[in-house]
């Protein structure tokens, strides 16, 4: 089931934004005009990935430098070992939906 979390233009290109989805912080990254959703909590020690840096489709955690592929949640560089959960993001008209 998906939930409406905001507007279709809420996340600008090259930026990330966190939305509350059923009590979980979900990050939506706009990479090259495409929106990708994933759980915002770094699997290393729990920092918010939104405080990190988005470069293309790679998010780098500000705490200890782990990198994740925003398109899949996969770990690209440790110290994190587990992927972040990927979420389906949909734009319907002016609305932004994320899978809960
Ligand atoms: S909490 Fe993200 S790399 Fe350590």
Q: Whose CA is nearest to atom 3 of ligand 1?
A: 64
Q: How confident is the model at residue 25 (pLDDT cuts 50, 70, 90)?
A: very high
Extract the tokens encoding 45. 């020690």
Tell me what pLDDT residue 100 has. Answer: 81
For residue 97, the surrounding DSSP H or E stretch is strand 95-99
Sheet containing strand 58-60, edge to edge, reads 53-55, 58-60, 67-69, 75-77
Residue 38: HSE in the Cβ half-sphere, 13 Å Cα cutoff: 28
What pLDDT score does 7 carry?
93
- The first and second tokens of residue 29, run together, are 């990254």
DSSP summary character for residue 83: P
pLDDT digits (tens, 9 = 90+) for 63-99: 999 999 999 999 999 999 999 999 999 999 999 999 9
Q: 68 CA distance to ligand 1 centroid (A)?
A: 11
pTM of the model: 0.95
Mapping DSSP to helix (H, G, I), strand (E, B) and coil, where does residue 50 land?
A: helix
**For all residues of the chain together, what is the average pLDDT?**
96
Is any atom of ligand 1 closer than 6 Å to the C-beta of 70?
Answer: no
The answer to whether 12 and 99 have CB atoms below 8 angstroms apart is no
What is residue 1's predicted lDDT score, i.e. its pLDDT?
A: 81
Domain ranges of the chain: 2-99
Instruction: Tell which atom from ligand 1 comes closest to the C-alpha of 46.
Output: 1
| CATH of 2-99 among 3.60.20.10, 3.40.50.720, 3.40.190.10, 2.102.10.10 | 2.102.10.10
């Amino acid at each position: 089931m998906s939930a409406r979390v905001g507007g279709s233009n809420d996340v600008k290109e090259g930026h990330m934004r966190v939305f509350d989805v059923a009590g979980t912080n979900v990050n939506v990254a706009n990479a090259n005009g495409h929106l990708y959703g994933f759980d915002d909590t770094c699997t290393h020690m729990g920092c918010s990935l939104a405080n990190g840096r988005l470069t293309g489709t790679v998010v780098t955690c500000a705490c200890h430098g782990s990198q994740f592929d925003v398109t899949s949640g996969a770990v690209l560089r440790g110290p994190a070992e587990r992927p972040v959960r990927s979420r389906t993001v949909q734009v319907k008209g002016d609305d932004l939906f994320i899978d809960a």
